């Protein structure tokens, strides 16, 4: 019996212990839920606070951007006004001209028994039509099209409006006819101011006009002096698609076709240049043969030359320059191991004469350097041969 009671008490104690544990676990879970909820509320509050700060910064940035944009527009307008004072005065004068012109036309039309609304529309048609054509012309000009027909239309409509205003002025202000002409001018003056501003500022500068005049003169000179080449250039441009060859490229191609040379040159010019080189070479040869007489003549010419600043030194005349020896070359020398013997030089004399002829044909003077290069010999040997060649040529001329 006692054992049963003890078991019963133990069971009850275990139940109470379990109830306490369950209660503790329930309290722990409740505290954990409360802590979680509190953390979530804190995070939500923090996120809301951050969002409010971000929204506040965004509104401040947007407000600052609007203020900056407004200030930039104001500054841009001020810069434009400072840079375009003429535009302001033109706008003012145009308004002061257009408004009286329209009122005068309305008065003229209503005086002719035309209803006021219709008179206003007709007046707007005349003045507005002139300005509509004006702005269409400006748009065409900006697009690169010819605005001439628009300008003619503008002045035609403006002239009709001016005639209406003159007629009305003479009827209404007969005692003061000048008023009629002022009213007539009001329909033309605004157009004139606009035309002067838009087209007068786009005219060619003096440099552009000068360049255009020089270009026309150049084209005229080409047509005068090279008509066949110009005609060929036009044919080449016509044969190819439009814009493939410009004028200069077509003329250069036609020049090469007709002359076989680069533009500006030809076979005749090459022949003239070659002949001049040969004549110059002959003059150099003459200078080598009569060196002493030429030097004396050069010194006399330098003393008598009235243009001293243009005078050359005598040694630079007739080809006497750096190739001329400063001392007379030897006519002979003792045989040495490094040079050729007299017999070898005598054997080389015919070749030296031929090489000298080649130098003259090339427009160069007969020098030791030139003969040494032609004959592939030492310069000291070439100096001896040069003197012998000069002597041979002098005897031949005599």
Residue 170 and residue 155 share a domain:
yes
Confidence of residue 255 (pLDDT cuts 50, 70, 90): very high
Can you tell me which residue has the tokens 């409010």? 52
Shared domain for 187 and 277, answered yes or no, is no
Can you give the length of the chain in residues?
A: 398
Question: Does residue 172 belong to any structural domain of this protein?
Answer: yes
- DSSP H or E stretch at residue 207: helix 206-225
CA distances from 1 to 4, 29, 41, 129, 307 (A): 5, 42, 59, 129, 162
Shared domain check, 297 and 221: no
Between CA 311 and CA 292 the distance in angstroms is 19
In this structure, the answer to whether residues 345 and 247 fall within a common structural domain is: no
Per-residue b/e over 95-104, b at no fewer than 16 CB within 10 Å?
eebbebbbeb
Q: Looking at the structure, do residues 283 and 380 belong to the same domain, yes or no?
A: yes
Query: Among 249, 265, 281, which residue terminates a domain?
Result: 265
Domain co-membership, 261 together with 275: no
Domain count, the chain: 3
Residue 158 shares a structural domain with residue 96: yes
Q: Cα separation of 391 and 398, whole Å? A: 11
**Is 55 a domain residue?**
no
| Choice among 32-36, 84-88, 104-108, 272-276 with the minimum mean pLDDT | 84-88
Q: Note down the domain range covering 134.
A: 85-200
Residues 6+ apart with CB under 8 A from 161: 101, 105, 126, 127, 130, 187
Whole-angstrom distance, CA of residue 49 vs CA of residue 47: 5
Domain presence at residue 194 = yes
Q: Which of 151-160, 190-199, 323-332 has the lowest mean pLDDT?
A: 323-332
Tell me the percentage of the chain whose pLDDT exceeds 70.
74
Residue 167 lies in a domain: yes
pLDDT at 370: 81
Kindly list the distances between the CA atom of residue 6 and the CA atoms of 10, 13, 14, in Å, as whole numbers in the listed order.
6, 10, 12
Q: Is the dihedral of CA 183, 187, 193, 199 positive or negative?
A: negative
| 346 inside domain | yes
Asked whether residue 384 is domain-assigned, the answer is yes
Q: Do 385 and 277 share a domain, yes or no?
A: yes
| Whether residue 361 sits in one domain with residue 284 | yes
Q: Using a cut of 0.85, tell me whether the model's pTM lies above it.
A: no
Per-residue pLDDT reduced to its tens digit, 263-275: 888 888 888 887 7
User: Looking at the structure, do residues 251 and 360 belong to the same domain, yes or no?
Assistant: no
Taking the alpha carbons of 303, 304, 309, 310 in that order, is the dihedral positive or negative? negative
Structure tokens at 342: 């007299």
For 113-127, 302-316, 384-398, which range has the lowest pLDDT when averaged over its residues? 302-316
Give the pLDDT of residue 387.
84
pLDDT at 318: 35
Confirm whether 14 is domain-assigned.
no
Composition of the chain by helix, strand, coil, percent to 5: 80, 0, 20
Residue 341 lies in a domain: yes
Query: Are 281 and 257 found together in one domain?
Result: no
Local confidence band at 324 (pLDDT 50, 70, 90 cut-offs)? very low
Say yes or no: 282 and 386 in one domain: yes
Q: Does residue 385 carry a pLDDT above 50?
A: yes
């Amino acid at each position: 019996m006692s054992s049963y009671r003890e078991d019963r008490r133990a069971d009850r104690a275990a139940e109470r212990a379990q109830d306490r544990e369950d209660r503790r676990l329930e309290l722990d879970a409740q505290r954990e839920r409360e802590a979680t909820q509190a953390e979530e509320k804190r995070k939500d509050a923090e996120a809301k606070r951050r969002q409010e700060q971000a929204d506040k910064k965004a509104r401040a940035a947007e407000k600052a951007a609007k203020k900056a944009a407004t200030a930039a527009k104001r500054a841009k307008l001020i810069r434009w006004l400072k840079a375009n004072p003429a535009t302001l005065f033109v706008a003012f004068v145009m308004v002061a001209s257009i408004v009286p012109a329209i009122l005068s036309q309305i008065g003229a039309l209503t005086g002719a028994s035309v209803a006021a609304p219709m008179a206003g529309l007709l007046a707007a048609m005349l003045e507005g039509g002139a300005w509509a054509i004006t702005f269409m012309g400006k748009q065409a000009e900006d697009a690169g099209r010819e605005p001439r027909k628009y300008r003619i239309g503008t002045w035609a409509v403006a002239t009709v409006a001016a005639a209406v205003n003159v007629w009305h002025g003479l009827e209404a202000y007969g005692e003061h006819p000048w008023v009629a002409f002022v009213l007539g001018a009001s329909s033309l003056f605004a157009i004139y101011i606009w035309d002067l501003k838009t087209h007068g500022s786009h005219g060619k500068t003096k440099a552009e006009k000068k360049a255009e005049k020089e270009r026309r003169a150049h084209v005229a000179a080409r047509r005068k002096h090279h008509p066949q080449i110009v005609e060929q250039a036009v044919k080449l441009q016509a044969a190819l698609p439009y814009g493939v060859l410009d004028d200069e490229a077509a003329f250069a191609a036609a020049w090469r076709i007709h002359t076989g040379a680069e533009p500006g040159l030809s076979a005749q010019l090459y022949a003239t240049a070659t002949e001049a080189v040969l004549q110059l070479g002959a003059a150099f040869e003459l200078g080598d043969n009569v060196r002493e007489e030429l030097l004396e003549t050069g010194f006399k010419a330098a003393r008598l030359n009235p243009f001293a600043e243009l005078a050359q030194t005598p040694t630079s005349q007739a080809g006497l320059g750096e190739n001329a020896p400063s001392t007379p070359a030897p006519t002979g020398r003792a045989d040495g191991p490094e040079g050729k013997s007299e017999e070898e030089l005598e054997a080389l004399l015919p070749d030296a004469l031929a090489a000298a002829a080649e130098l003259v044909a090339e427009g160069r003077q007969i020098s030791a350097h030139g003969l040494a290069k032609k004959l592939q010999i030492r310069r000291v040997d070439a100096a001896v041969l040069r003197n012998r060649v000069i002597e041979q040529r002098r005897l031949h001329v005599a």
